């Protein structure tokens, strides 16, 4: 596709439910990042993949958050036993190069997650 695609666009879940958010990066992009953006704030880093390898997960707020990119393309961010503080927009970004290539990151439209 032309850009980074994320689904669903909106997700409403009850507290305690598990959710899965999908990211389809730009074809051929090696690097994939997940960010969390709270209302009125800048995006905050969650985790990074280089191809299928998860090289950095230091931003994941708890062990309830899990991400994978098994074939080095599509990535899924899973949140188990959701809590109200998980409500945010989850952004996926991809870039062509590997780490420190300093290339621009291309963002998807995000998934707006609301936990009731």
Nearer to another protein, 17 or 106 (CB): 106
- 8 A C-beta contact, residue 75 and residue 49: yes
Name residue, tokens 């953006």.
37
3-state helix vs strand vs coil in the chain, percent to 5: 5, 45, 50
| Least distance CB 12 / another protein (angstroms) | 17
Which residue number, 17 or 112, has a Cβ lying nearer to another protein? 112
Give me the residues that bind another protein (CB under 8 A), please: 31, 33, 35, 41-45, 48, 50, 55-56, 58-59, 91, 93, 95, 98-102, 104-110
In terms of DSSP bridges, do strands 10-13 and 111-115 run parallel, antiparallel, or are they unpaired? Answer: parallel
Shorter beta-carbon distance to another protein: residue 56 or 68: 56
């Amino acid at each position: 596709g032309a850009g980074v695609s994320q689904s669903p666009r909106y997700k409403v879940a009850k507290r305690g439910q598990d959710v899965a958010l999908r990211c389809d990066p730009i074809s051929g992009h090696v690097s994939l990042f997940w960010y969390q953006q709270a209302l009125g704030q800048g995006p905050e880093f969650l985790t990074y993949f280089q191809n299928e390898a998860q090289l950095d997960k230091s931003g994941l707020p708890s062990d309830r958050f899990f991400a994978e990119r098994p074939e080095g393309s599509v990535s899924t961010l899973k949140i188990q036993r959701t809590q109200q503080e998980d409500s945010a927009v989850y952004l996926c970004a991809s870039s062509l190069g590997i780490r420190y290539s300093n290339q621009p990151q291309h963002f998807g439209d995000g998934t707006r997650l609301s936990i009731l």
